């Protein structure tokens, strides 16, 4: 074959322009079932008359479940301005620090709003807003800036996913005198989540839900500890100081769970430590990203449903069930990943295993290259496997 770049896709016969709902559903269904190992082959296998690039873009910018829709908050805009000052037009880098936002979206916001706003501020430097912006590296930057500075090194680290701005793990459950500890943790790239001890992780969901948080940096160390201060008795389902490794196919040794303290007499503090070494297998972070991304997705779904309550056809009960579904799925998945309470019959678990089994096959995907839509309609399968998301279909 001659030198030079191959065309990104076959132009002939492929569709361009806006995506139809049917195409969206087909793409979502396919990715949900098989993932997106090969974008170039994906459209053919999914029965889409699109090039792989277009599919990838559509997924990343619009269909991905953890996309945060809606207007940018002032905090997000501040963050973009600051990061743009640091990084320039590195939209993907900026996007990586704004959970749920895409580089395309940020680029658009910058070009349509923020750039003009900054220009107008330059023209009128006496305005109040200008003061705020120009002091973006002073105290007004708040947690966002501290996060930026804190992870300055990871910005330059191309390989590592940087810490997220606003990754504030101060928990309502956290004991009061954690200030010094927290500073220590920050210095040693360690974050702390404290949760009421519950072996089935129900409360972990609730606590994480209270944090408007993002996955931590891979360069940091995550510690999830639990407090039983309000519990009549600790429930040490994990043996004291027990430590075991995840044996999932994707993460082998990086995940250690230690039931470090079980002060049954005092009933004061019992901890489940989830320690991930700095050099942890990146798969662990993928797993946590997925889990927390799922949480974020579910949260935004519920928020969206709440916002649309008056006008949309999703009733209160539907929304509640959707929320409960995601909550339970997330918890079950995490329990499985942590090997705390694997449930063989669980739907999500079986789906995950199906996908994992498919992906374990050499030359994944293991089917013959095209889907038989008469036997397997991905659209039907999608709605059988997952409740419709108001976020996606609004």
Partner DNA sequence: AAGAGCATCAACCGCATGCGT
Partner DNA sequence: CACGCATGCGGTTGATGCTCT
> In the complex, which residues of this chain contact DNA (CB under 7 A)?
1-6, 8, 15-19, 37-40, 50, 52-54, 56-58, 61-62, 89-93, 103-105, 107-109, 111-113, 158
Rounded least distance, CB 41 to DNA, Å: 7
Rounded least distance, CB 338 to DNA, Å: 27
Rounded least distance, CB 71 to DNA, Å: 7
Q: Which is nearer to DNA, 61 or 135 (CB)?
A: 61
Rounded least distance, CB 377 to DNA, Å: 22
Q: Which is nearer to DNA, 104 or 146 (CB)?
A: 104
Q: Which is nearer to DNA, 15 or 178 (CB)?
A: 15
Q: Which is nearer to DNA, 8 or 356 (CB)?
A: 8
Residue pair 30/42 in contact by the 8 Å Cβ criterion: yes
Rounded least distance, CB 349 to DNA, Å: 27
Rounded least distance, CB 282 to DNA, Å: 12
Q: Which is nearer to DNA, 5 or 317 (CB)?
A: 5
- Tell me how far apart the alpha carbons of residues 272 and 199 are, in angstroms, rounded to a whole number: 9
Count of C-beta atoms within a 10 Å radius of residue 357: 12
- Tell me how far apart the alpha carbons of residues 82 and 137 are, in angstroms, rounded to a whole number: 8
Half-sphere exposure of 259 (CA within 13 A, CB side): 18
Q: Which is nearer to DNA, 58 or 259 (CB)?
A: 58
Q: Which is nearer to DNA, 42 or 223 (CB)?
A: 42
- Tell me how far apart the alpha carbons of residues 128 and 125 are, in angstroms, rounded to a whole number: 8
Q: Which is nearer to DNA, 103 or 275 (CB)?
A: 103
| 215: Cβ contacts below 8 Å, ≥ 6 apart | 99, 161, 164, 167, 285, 288, 289, 292, 293
Residue pair 97/162 in contact by the 8 Å Cβ criterion: yes
Rounded least distance, CB 47 to DNA, Å: 17
- Tell me how far apart the alpha carbons of residues 392 and 394 are, in angstroms, rounded to a whole number: 6
Q: Which is nearer to DNA, 138 or 394 (CB)?
A: 394
**Phi-psi category of residue 211: left, alpha or beta, with phi > 0 → left and psi -120 to 50 → alpha:** beta
Rounded least distance, CB 134 to DNA, Å: 22
Rounded least distance, CB 297 to DNA, Å: 17
Rounded least distance, CB 323 to DNA, Å: 24
Counting beta carbons within 10 angstroms of the beta carbon of residue 349, is it exposed (0 to 12), middle (13 to 18) or buried (19 or more)? middle
Q: Which is nearer to DNA, 31 or 222 (CB)?
A: 31
């Amino acid at each position: 074959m001659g030198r030079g770049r191959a065309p990104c896709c076959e132009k002939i016969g492929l569709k361009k322009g806006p995506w139809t709902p049917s195409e969206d559903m087909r793409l979502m269904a396919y990715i949900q079932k098989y993932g997106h190992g090969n974008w170039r082959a994906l459209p053919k296998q999914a029965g889409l008359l699109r090039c792989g690039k277009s599919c990838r873009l559509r997924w990343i910018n619009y269909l991905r479940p953890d996309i945060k829709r809606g207007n940018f908050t002032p905090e997000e805009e501040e963050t973009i301005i600051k990061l743009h000052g640091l990084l320039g037009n590195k939209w993907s880098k900026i996007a990586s620090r704004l959970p749920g936002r895409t580089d395309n979206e940020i680029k658009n916001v910058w070009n349509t709003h923020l750039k003009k706003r900054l220009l107008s501020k330059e023209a009128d430097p006496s305005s109040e807003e200008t003061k705020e912006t120009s002091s973006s590296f002073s105290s007004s930057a708040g947690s966002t800036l501290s996060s930026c500075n804190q992870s300055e090194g990871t910005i330059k680290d191309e390989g590592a996913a940087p810490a997220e701005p606003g990754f504030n793990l101060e928990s309502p459950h956290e004991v009061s005198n954690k200030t010094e500890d927290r500073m220590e943790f920050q210095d040693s790239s360690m974050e702390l989540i404290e949760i009421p001890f519950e072996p089935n992780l129900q409360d972990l969901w609730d606590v994480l839900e209270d944090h408007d948080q993002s996955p931590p940096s891979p360069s940091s160390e995550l510690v999830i500890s639990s407090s039983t201060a309000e519990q009549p008795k600790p429930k040490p389902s994990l043996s004291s100081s027990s430590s075991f490794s995840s044996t999932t196919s994707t993460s082998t040794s990086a995940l250690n769970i230690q039931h470090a303290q079980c002060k049954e007499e005092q009933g004061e503090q019992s901890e489940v430590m989830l320690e991930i070494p700095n050099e942890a297998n990146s798969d662990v972070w993928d797993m946590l990203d997925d889990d927390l991304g799922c949480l974020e997705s579910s949260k935004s779904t519920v928020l969206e449903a709440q916002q649309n309550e008056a006008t949309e056809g999703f009733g209160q009960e539907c929304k509640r069930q959707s929320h409960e579904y995601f909550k339970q799925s997330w918890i079950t998945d995490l329990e499985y990943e942590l090997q705390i309470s694997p449930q063989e019959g669980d739907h999500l678990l079986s789906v995950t295993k199906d996908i994992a089994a498919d992906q374990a096959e050499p030359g994944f995907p293991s089917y013959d290259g095209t889907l038989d839509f008469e036997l397997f309609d991905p659209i039907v399968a999608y709605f059988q496997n997952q409740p419709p998301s108001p976020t996606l279909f609004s």
